[in-house]
């Protein structure tokens, strides 16, 4: 097992990042000693991180073991409802409060991400950065905190809807529409565009593999 040392991140963030990038997937068992070796930290902070992740429902009990939690169909639907409302609010606030520089960053992201159309994993990472930038551009720290919680739960999904053929191109067009509305300072349009974007992502996920939804697809 490779050892990953990062003095700038605590055990909680290291485990969360590993879940987010797919090193650990729904159903995988997490073992304190293995995590400590992988991340080059002692078992005490690992144990505390696992307890925190369990409290946040990112981990579940399987007998005496802790495993990466999975989302059933109803939980997935509930997650997307909350995500659409909170992200829509973030877009509305970004249209009101984003600086000129923040808007340029969003525009640059959309342009750069077009080079990643045929790289679903890279595009998924870029997509998370894009959404995070909108959250920050809302300039509302409490909203950002709630969206961080939602996106941690999104890490429990085994695949990205961006891996579906044609979804990448459509998603980037939707991103461009969101940024255009933010640039125009049209809060209602930005909120509507963001909610439409989330709705299309959810619909794509439902269509792509409905039989696997109970296994957190």
Whether 50 and 133 map to the same domain: the answer is no
Contact (CB, 8 A) for 82 and 150: yes
Reported as a pLDDT band with limits 50, 70 and 90, residue 213 is very low
Return the CATH number at 32.
Answer: 1.10.10.10
On whether the CB atoms of residues 83 and 195 are closer than 8 A, the answer is no
In a domain, 2, yes or no: no
The secondary structure element, H or E, covering residue 83 is: helix 73-97
Number of domains in the chain: 2
What distance lies between CA 21 and its chain's CA centroid?
10
Report whether pLDDT(212) > 50.
no
* More confidently predicted of 27 and 207: 27
Q: Indicate whether 57 and 89 sit together in one domain.
A: no
pLDDT at residue number 210: 52
Judge if 54 and 81 occupy the same domain.
Answer: no
- Is the predicted pLDDT of residue 7 greater than 80, yes or no? no
Dist. CA 176–CA 148, nearest whole Å: 23
Same domain as 156, residue 100 = yes
Say whether both 77 and 63 belong to one domain: no
Of residues 153 and 112, more confidence is placed in 112
- 89 shares its domain with 158: yes
Look at residue 18 and tell me if it is in a domain: yes
Q: Are 152 and 17 in contact (CB under 8 A)?
A: no
Categorize the per-residue pLDDT at 1 as very low, low, confident or very high, splitting at 50, 70 and 90: very low
Whether 84 and 175 map to the same domain: the answer is yes
If asked whether residues 57 and 164 sit together in one domain, one would say no
Residue 5 placed within a domain: no
Give the residue with greater pLDDT, 89 vs 151: 89
Q: Does 79 lie in the same domain as 170?
A: yes
Task: Please give the mean pLDDT across all residues of the chain.
Answer: 88
Q: Is 184 exposed, middle or buried (0-12, 13-18, 19+ CB in 10 A)?
A: exposed
Domain's final residue, options 30, 52, 68: 68
CA-based R_g, the chain, Å: 18
In the structure encoding, which two tokens stand for residue 178, read together? 């969101």
Both structure tokens of 9: 């991140």
pLDDT tens digits, residue range 22-42? 788 888 999 999 999 999 999
Domain boundary among 53, 68, 83: 68
Max mean pLDDT range (58-62, 65-69, 129-133, 150-154): 129-133
Task: Quote the domain boundaries for residue 57.
Answer: 11-68
Confidence at residue 37, expressed as pLDDT on a 0 to 100 scale: 94
pLDDT at position 38, please?
94
For residue 124, the domain's CATH number is 1.20.120.530
Within a domain: residue 188? yes
Over residues 146-197, the pLDDT tens digits come to 999 898 888 787 666 766 767 889 999 999 999 999 999 999 999 999 999 9
């Amino acid at each position: 097992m490779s050892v990953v040392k990062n003095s700038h991140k605590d055990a909680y963030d290291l485990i969360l990042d590993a879940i987010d990038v797919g090193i650990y997937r729904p159903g995988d068992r997490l073992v304190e000693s293995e995590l400590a070796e992988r991340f080059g930290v002692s078992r005490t902070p690992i144990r505390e991180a696992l307890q925190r992740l369990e409290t946040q429902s990112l981990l579940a009990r399987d007998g005496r073991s802790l495993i990466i939690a999975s989302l059933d169909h109803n939980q997935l639907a509930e997650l997307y409802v909350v995500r659409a409302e909170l992200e829509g609010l973030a877009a509305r606030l970004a249209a009101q409060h984003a600086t000129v520089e923040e808007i340029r960053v969003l525009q640059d992201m959309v342009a750069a991400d077009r080079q990643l159309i045929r790289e679903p994993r890279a595009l998924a990472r870029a997509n998370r950065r894009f959404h995070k930038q909108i959250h920050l551009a809302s300039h509302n720290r409490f909203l950002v905190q709630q969206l961080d919680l939602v996106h941690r739960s999104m890490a429990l999904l085994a695949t990205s809807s961006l891996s579906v053929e044609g979804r990448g191109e459509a998603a980037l067009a939707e991103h461009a529409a969101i940024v255009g509305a933010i640039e125009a300072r049209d809060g209602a349009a930005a909120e509507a565009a963001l909610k439409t974007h989330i709705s299309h992502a959810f619909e794509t996920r439902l269509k792509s593999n409905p039989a696997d939804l109970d296994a957190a697809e």
